[in-house]
């Protein structure tokens, strides 16, 4: 597929909908081959391809950099984890999987409470849902958990006095991600894997090959 025709909005929508439960790519592949892009178009296409294909590696790399920056501040580490979790909740697949696992665990102790944690049903008209089903976590809208975890993490950042440190850690993590995605040469396996496993699932209305 031609990644040059994929807009930033398409990429963000794909990252929001795609399954993040897949393990990261192996490190030998992650650090395999680096070349300088020959043109802006090549760089733009490579950047989008690598951000999508190595998304889990980049996410873990940023989390590790944040963790290393707060080895002496336990509250800041907890704040970093809560921040990462609130961001992960924005992904449909992660939010649904998290809700299902929590509900399954609660069902073992309280089936009645687990029944209340089910997401509300979407009305069906003529065999089709009347509207796009909103994502719920434990029976509540997703944004409730995003706001709660974000508020708690911001409070912990303030208490731990680590706001400046987290800003530097984020700059370093995002810079490392940008550099790797810019110079890592997309291999044939990445392109074929992306097309074969996720093309139809994510870009349902995208047909350029």
Across the 209 residues of the chain, what is the mean pLDDT of every consecutive 10-residue run? 70 73 84 88 87 88 81 77 83 81 82 72 50 71 87 83 75 92 78 51 44
Q: What is the pLDDT of residues 24-61, one digit of tens each?
A: 888 888 888 899 988 888 898 888 888 888 888 998 89
Strands (E), the chain: 124-125, 128-129, 136-137, 140-141
Question: How many Cα atoms are found within 13 Å in the side-chain-facing hemisphere of 114?
Answer: 12
Other C-beta atoms closer than 10 Å to the C-beta of 192 total 10
- At 195 the pLDDT is 47
Please report the pLDDT score of residue 2 as a whole number. Answer: 63
pLDDT at site 175: 94
Strand, coil or helix: 152: helix
Contacts 24+ apart (CB under 8 A), 145-151: 145/86, 145/89, 146/86, 146/89, 146/90, 149/82, 149/83, 149/85, 149/86, 149/89, 150/82, 150/83, 150/86
pLDDT of residue 177: 94
Half-sphere exposure of 32 (CA within 13 A, CB side): 14
């Amino acid at each position: 597929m031609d990644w040059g025709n994929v807009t930033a909005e398409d990429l963000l929508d794909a990252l929001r909908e795609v399954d993040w439960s897949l393990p990261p790519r192996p490190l030998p592949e992650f650090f395999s081959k680096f070349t300088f892009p020959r043109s802006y178009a090549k760089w733009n296409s490579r950047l989008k391809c690598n951000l999508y294909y190595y998304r889990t590696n980049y996410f873990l790399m940023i989390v590790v950099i944040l963790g290393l920056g707060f080895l002496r501040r336990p509250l800041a580490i907890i704040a970093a984890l809560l921040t990462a979790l609130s961001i992960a909740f924005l992904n449909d697949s992660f939010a649904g999987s998290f809700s299902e696992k929590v509900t399954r665990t609660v069902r073992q102790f309280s089936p009645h409470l687990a029944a209340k944690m089910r997401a509300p049903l979407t009305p069906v008209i003529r065999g089709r849902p009347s509207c796009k089903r909103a994502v719920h976590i434990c029976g509540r809208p997703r944004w409730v958990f995003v706001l709660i975890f974000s508020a708690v993490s911001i409070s912990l950042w303030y208490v731990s006095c680590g706001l400046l440190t987290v800003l530097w850690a984020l700059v370093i993590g995002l810079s490392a991600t940008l550099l790797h995605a810019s110079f890592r040469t997309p291999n044939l396996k990445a392109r074929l894997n992306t097309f074969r496993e996720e093309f139809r699932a994510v870009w349902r209305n995208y047909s350029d090959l």
